Chain A
Amino acid sequence: MKAAKDLLICNARLVDPEAGNVRMGALRISGGVISACHDTPWPDVGDADTMDARGKCLAPGIVDIGVKVGEPGERHKESYRTAGAAAAAGGITTIVTRADTEPCIDTPEALEFIRRRASADALVNVSHMAALTKGRQGREMTEIGFLRDAGAVAFSDHDRVHRDAKTLGRAMTYAAGLGALIITHPQEPTLSDGACTTSGKFASLRGLSSVSPMAERMGLDRDLALAEITGVALHADQITTARALPALQRAKDAGLNVTAGISIHHLTLNELDVADYRTFFKLTPPLRSEEDRQAMIEAVRSGLIDLISTIHTPQDEELKRLPFEVAASGAVGLETALPVLLRLYHADTLDLPTLFKALSLNPARRLGLDCGRLAPGGPADLVLFDPDKPIILDRFKLQSKSKNTPFDNARLQGKVLATFVAGQKVYSA
């Protein structure tokens, strides 16, 4: 069989998070791998197919840690097929799925099952997280070794926060011995249980149960202290409040193996967006004040917050059409991530290399993946997008089975034109 021809993507604005710049150039793909990165927009073609990017942006594909796919248990909310299609449409080339399914992914057998489902159906690369404790109950650790051998890239009980520091500490100690990554959701659970807004004037006006932003700092303080004792590699899934940042900075300065993320929604929305009890804006953790949002943008800019995730959480209409306090939490984000985050680019608060460092390079590095870069040798996982194209988001046109985005009807700027996974075009607008 004859090997596939090379593909040369010419005349592109290359967004290079590693070099920290945007430059005109071209990219050659051979056998699913980036084989050359040219600094001229029209290099010698040689024996290759060409594609004219028409001066649009070409960036390493997004690596999204923390995507909820409803398999097993809630396939009516999202399947591997629809999640893959949504990711491809959003320029996301690797999704890292959460273990908070029904039942949760806490055995190698369950992991085998979803790996099969993912490889059969998903258009993009899929990696999986596994639960840290059995049944996510916070009592006994899962078979971390077996799960890792079966392909789990990280271990987390997600939004079910560990109440018992001793159990968490032991799991961390064990994981550290294996070099496994643990992801925690930093909250003080006795404060955050049952809360659906951030305490403050808005929560008081609406009469909603609320949690102090301090609960995040308390949770982070504990998790960092345990990471310090155990030496585990720790990632805090969502740091959303300014008060938590000094602790994170101290831990990084002290050389702990610690990273932190934030969701696209906490960077672009604040607590007032809930307005008249709009349940599509109910998230975990709840949306924060505008001051916190600004502080988080600055933390992404400075690199203190390492990566941005969608925390894609599909929910069906029924679970959202309830009074705010009892409605389901979470929002879909795979397809909206890029146009929504480009708001920050258009507002001149984050430049493109910084965005893609947080979206592609850093998450790939954290998981030890080779993607996330434009350098030769890496897999040709790429997104071609027009950062200026105006769009009006229509939630019913999303590929996700669930349509619970807070950005319905939003005027956004930025459109994914094509997505490549291992050199194959999996999406084109």
Chain B
Amino acid sequence: MRFDQRHLLGIEPLRPDEITTLLDLSDRYVTLNKRRDKHASVLSGLTQINMFFENSTRTQASFEIAGKRLGADVMNMAMQASSIKKGETLIDTALTLNAMHPDLLVVRHPQSGAVDLLAQKVNCAVINAGDGRHEHPTQALLDALTIRRAKGRLHRLKIAICGDIAHSRVARSNILLLGKMENRVRLIGPPTLMPSQIADFGVEVFHDMEQGLRDADVVMMLRLQRERMDGGFIPSEREYFHRYGLNAKKLALAHPDAIVMHPGPMNRGVEIDGTLADDINRSVIQEQVEMGVAVRMAAMDILARNLRASPKEVMV
């Protein structure tokens, strides 16, 4: 078992065997999480700080629970409320925190690349909990774990990712991960919500949802990121739902065993039909949340092992 990363900043630098290592370890934590007594001690003595420069409920809660179950001392910092307002730069914030000797830093930031920048300045392990439109690696890993458990494998699957690809860090991380694991990735959405030259990522692009869904094994819906849009990407939500919203009729075109995923939070009636989202035979949305905790436990566990194995560096 090898995992040669100091941080988890994205899927891009990971090798397929590192992804498998993480997922295998996650599976063990899924089992642990189903027990009444959920405690382990692999992170005991370590300090985990969750720094969220952007609003988050589920991801932050997931990281907090993951850390606590593994015995870490967990602290949450809502960065919008603190020093950022007083004009402190990201690097100063990082250096200030670094002086408190955290071991794991979980960071979400509205700007692409901000977590990479921060990781260069601290000597703890950094986990990217989402940076701008760049990456959200733990989401892609939890999606992969969900798919692997539902489908029994994570290769040679037809996976349709549908919706607002352009503004989605979840989509980028998923495209990278599923590509590395040798799946056929299809992207479905209006051309205005596709990043430029996305076809060069080794994906198939569909602007017609019905064509794109045909025989898909996995249907991954994305949230319409209205807060990231500066206007004019789609004519209206009702036209969007009509053309790109998932309902039972469209889902019938996919493989009969196809599962439906969504990273949440859902806009019911905008990208997904409410009753479909609740259909426990098709929707694995609740499992995704469950897998999220396990994946984050695994990621922090594995980074902590690397941390303990290497001598503590002195900050210059």
Q: Chain A interface (Cβ within 8 Å of chain B)? A: 199-201, 203-208, 210, 212, 276-277, 318, 321-326
Contacts and interface: CB of A to CB of B under 8 A. Distances in A.
A207 B113 CA distance: 8
Given A207-B132, A322-B89, A201 B113 contact: no
A276 B112 CA distance: 10
B196 A323 contact: no
A206 B201 CA distance: 12
Contact of A323 (B113, B172, B195, B198): B113
B114 interface: yes
Interface string B108-119: 010111101100
A204 B168 CA distance: 10
Contacts of A205: 12, 172, 201
B197 A204 contact: yes
A325 to B, nearest CB: 5
Contact of B112 (A277, A318, A321): A277
A204 B201 contact: yes
A203 B111 contact: no
B35 to A, nearest CB: 38
A191 B123 CA distance: 40
Contacts of B200: 201
B135 A200 contact: no
B276 to A, nearest CB: 29
- Max chain B Cβ within 10 angstroms of own Cβ: one of A205, A206, A207, A210: A207
B109 A204 contact: no
B94 to A, nearest CB: 10
Nearest to B169: A207
A401 to B, nearest CB: 20
B196 A321 contact: no
Contacts of B201: 201, 204-205
A206 B133 CA distance: 8
Contacts of B90: 322-323
Pick the 3 closest A-B CB pairs, nearest first: A277-B113, A207-B133, A204-B195
29 contacts: A199-B197, A201-B196, A201-B198, A201-B201, A203-B195, A204-B201, A205-B12, A206-B113, A207-B112, A207-B131, A207-B133, A207-B134, A207-B169, A207-B172, A208-B112, A208-B132, A276-B113, A277-B112, A318-B89, A321-B91, A322-B91, A322-B117, A323-B112, A323-B114, A323-B132, A324-B111, A324-B117, A325-B111, A325-B132
Interface in B75-99: 89-91
A326 B111 contact: yes
Contact of A324 (B89, B113, B172, B195): B113
B161 to A, nearest CB: 14
Interface of B: 12, 89-91, 109, 111-114, 116-117, 131-135, 169, 172, 195-198, 200-201
- Max chain B Cβ within 10 angstroms of own Cβ: one of A206, A210, A326: A206
A322 to B, nearest CB: 7
B9 to A, nearest CB: 9
B8 to A, nearest CB: 15
A210 B114 CA distance: 17
A399 B127 CA distance: 39
Contacts of A326: 111
B191 to A, nearest CB: 13
Given A321-B91, A325-B132, A206 B197 contact: no
A206 to B, nearest CB: 6
A93 B196 CA distance: 43
B111 A200 contact: no
Contact of A206 (B89, B112, B117): B112
Contacts of B133: 207-208
Nearest to B53: A323
Nearest to B168: A207
Contacts of A323: 90, 109, 111-114, 117, 132
B197 A201 contact: yes
A277 B132 contact: no
Contacts of A210: 196
Contacts of B195: 203-204
Nearest to B230: A194
A212 B195 CA distance: 12
A199 B134 CA distance: 14
Contacts of B135: 207
B116 A276 contact: yes
A206 B134 contact: yes
Nearest to A210: B196
Contacts of B12: 205
B113 A200 contact: no
A90 B172 CA distance: 43
Given A207-B112, A321-B89, A323-B109, 17 more contacts: A200-B197, A201-B197, A207-B132, A210-B196, A212-B196, A276-B116, A277-B113, A277-B116, A277-B117, A321-B91, A322-B117, A323-B111, A323-B112, A323-B117, A323-B132, A324-B117, A325-B112
A200 B89 CA distance: 30
Contacts of A199: 196-197
Contacts of B197: 199-201, 204
A32 to B, nearest CB: 49
Contacts of A322: 89-91, 117
B196 A208 contact: no
A326 B200 CA distance: 27
Contacts of A277: 112-113, 116-117
A210 to B, nearest CB: 7
Contacts of B89: 318, 321-322
Contacts of B134: 206-208
Contacts of B109: 323
A276 B114 CA distance: 10
Nearest to B119: A276
Contact of A204 (B116, B132, B198): B198
- Max chain B Cβ within 10 angstroms of own Cβ: one of A205, A318, A322: A205
A389 to B, nearest CB: 32
A324 B109 CA distance: 12
A385 to B, nearest CB: 36
A45 B104 CA distance: 74
A380 to B, nearest CB: 47
A25 to B, nearest CB: 51
A48 to B, nearest CB: 54
A210 B91 CA distance: 25
Nearest to A199: B196
A277 B196 CA distance: 18
Nearest to B198: A204
Nearest to A278: B113
